[in-house]
A = this chain, B = another copy of it.
Amino acid sequence: MSEQVGKQSLQFSNPPYVLSCSSVVGTREGKGPLRDQFDVVSEDDHFDSENWETAESMLQKKALKIALDKAAVLPEELRYLFAGDLLGQSVATSFGLQEFQVPLIGLYGACSTSGLSLSLAAMTVAAGYADLAAAVTSSHFASAEKQFRFPLEYANQRPLCTTWTVTGSGAFLLAGGGKYLDLKRRNHHEKIFAEDPDDLAFKDWNNSRDIVISGVTTGKILDYGVRDSMNMGAAMAPAAMDVIRAHFEDFGRTPEDYDWIVTGDLGQVGKQILIELLMEKGIDISANHTDCGIEIFDNEKQKTGSGGSGCGCSAVTLAAHFLPMLRSGEIRRLLFVPTGALLSKISFNEGKNVPGIAHAVVLESRIFGQQENGRPEKRNQNKEAKK
C-alpha cells in the first residue's frame, strides 16, 4: 500500500499523533497578542547565557524539556530528534540538544525547517521506524541579526518590509497510534493518583480530541530573482505558492477543505504576494489564510515591520496558538506551510538571489481511532484573520 499522493505528497494510512508540544519565547513575543498562550515567556533574552548563540541553544533545550514533561516521557523513550535552526552549521541545535542523547537528524531549510522537521518526524513515525520522535526548531532575534545582517550594537535602521526574527523555540512530540494510546492511558491513570492534577504533565491530556499529521507536501526551491535580504516575504512567497498549489493538486482539495492555511513567516508584504500569485493559478485562499509572522506581533504597536520570521516564529505560533484550537475541536483541519529563504551572509554578499522553499503539513483534529472527514464544519465561521 503506497502512501504516495500525486507528485510530491504523502498521505499517511497510520497517521502519527501529536503527543505534546511546547513554546518558549523571548521578551518581544511576550508583549505580543499571543503572550498568554506560550508555555514560557522569558524576562531576559539572554536566557542566562554569555552569548546569543548559547541563548538560542537554551531555548531549544527548554522547549524539548517542556514537551517531554507535558507528555511525561523521558528523553531515552525518543527514538529520533529532528531539529535545526538558522545559524551557520546549526550550532544552536548541536549545543542545545546534545545532552538529551537521542539519535539526531540535523536539518536545514531556513525558516521552513519547522515544517521539514515535522514532515520527517511524521514520515518516520508513520513508517513504523519510531514509536516516538521529536521535532525541535528555534530562532533568536539577536543571533539571527548577527548571522544575516548586522550585530545589534550597530543599531542599523530597517526598511518597513523587513521581518523581525522571533526569539523562540517550539518542540513537538509525535507518537504512533499504539504508543499514543499507551501513554494516554498511563498518564490518565497517573493523573487520578497525582498530588496535583493541574501539573504540567497533564496539561494537554484534558481534551477528548487528538491531533494527527495526516499528510505532507514537500517543497522545491523557487527563485523569482529577489535579491533584497531585507524583504524575505517577497523572496519566500513564490515557494509558498508552489507548495500550496501542488498540495491542492496532489490531494484534489481546495482552500475550503481547510479551516486555516497558515504560512510561516511571510509577513504582511509576503502575504499579499502569496495571495496574488495563487490567484493567478485560480486558487483563492484570501478568506482563510493567515501567517504566523502576522499573528505573533501587533506590527503597528510593536513596530515589527512586516511581521515575525524565523524557524521559531512558525513553531511557537503553531504550538501555542493553532494546536490548542485543533485539540479543542474549534478547528478541524489546518495546512501549516513554513517558509524559508535560502540565503547566507556569504551568498548575499556575493550578489546571489534569495531563493525560497516551503513545506506543507496537514494537521487534523480527531477523536482517537476515528477517521473523520477533516473538512471544516461551518465554512468561514472563524474568518477573523488579521489583515
Question: Smallest CB–CB gap between A278 and chain B, Å?
Answer: 19
> Which residue of B3, B8, B347 is within 8 Å of A89 (Cβ)?
B347
> Which residue of B79, B97, B221, B223 is within 8 Å of A221 (Cβ)?
B97
A104 adjacent to chain B (CB < 8 Å): yes
Enumerate chain B residues within 8 angstroms of A3, measured Cβ to Cβ. 127-129
Enumerate chain B residues within 8 angstroms of A51, measured Cβ to Cβ. 350
Q: How far is B342's CA from A95's CA once the two chains are assembled, in angstroms?
A: 9
Enumerate chain B residues within 8 angstroms of A88, measured Cβ to Cβ. 87-89, 147, 344-346
Q: How far is B130's CA from A8's CA once the two chains are assembled, in angstroms?
A: 9
A221→B105 contact, CB < 8 A: no
Q: How far is B346's CA from A101's CA once the two chains are assembled, in angstroms?
A: 23
Q: How far is B104's CA from A220's CA once the two chains are assembled, in angstroms?
A: 6
A104→B345 contact, CB < 8 A: no
Task: Fill in one digit per residue for A27-54: 1 if any B CB lies within 8 Å of its CB, else 0.
Answer: 0000000000000000000000011011
A102 adjacent to chain B (CB < 8 Å): yes
Question: Smallest CB–CB gap between A220 and chain B, Å?
Answer: 5
B110→A108 contact, CB < 8 A: no
Q: How far is B344's CA from A147's CA once the two chains are assembled, in angstroms?
A: 12
B116→A4 contact, CB < 8 A: no
Q: How far is B103's CA from A51's CA once the two chains are assembled, in angstroms?
A: 36
Task: Fill in one digit per residue for A338-358: 1 if any B CB lies within 8 Å of its CB, else 0.
Answer: 000011111100101001010
Which residues of A214-241 are within 8 A (CB) of B? 218-221, 223
Enumerate chain B residues within 8 angstroms of A116, measured Cβ to Cβ. 105-106
A10→B107 contact, CB < 8 A: no
Enumerate chain B residues within 8 angstroms of A277, measured Cβ to Cβ. none
Given that A107-B108, A129-B123, A219-B104 are contacting pairs, would A79 and B4 also be in contact in the complex, using a CB cutoff of 8 Å?
yes
Which residues of A78-114 are within 8 A (CB) of B? 79-80, 84, 86-91, 94-95, 97-98, 101-110, 113
Enumerate chain B residues within 8 angstroms of A91, measured Cβ to Cβ. 342-344, 346-347, 352
Nearest chain B residue, comparing its CB with the CB of A148: B89
Q: How far is B116's CA from A338's CA once the two chains are assembled, in angstroms?
A: 23
Give 17 new A-B contacts, CB below 8 A, not counting A88-B89, A94-B342, A105-B107. A1-B128, A3-B129, A51-B350, A53-B350, A88-B147, A89-B108, A89-B342, A91-B342, A94-B357, A95-B355, A97-B221, A98-B220, A106-B107, A106-B113, A106-B116, A123-B127, A126-B127
Interface residues of A (CB under 8 A from B): 1-4, 7-8, 10, 50-51, 53-54, 79-80, 84, 86-91, 94-95, 97-98, 101-110, 113, 116, 120, 123-124, 126-130, 147, 218-221, 223, 342-347, 350, 352, 355, 357
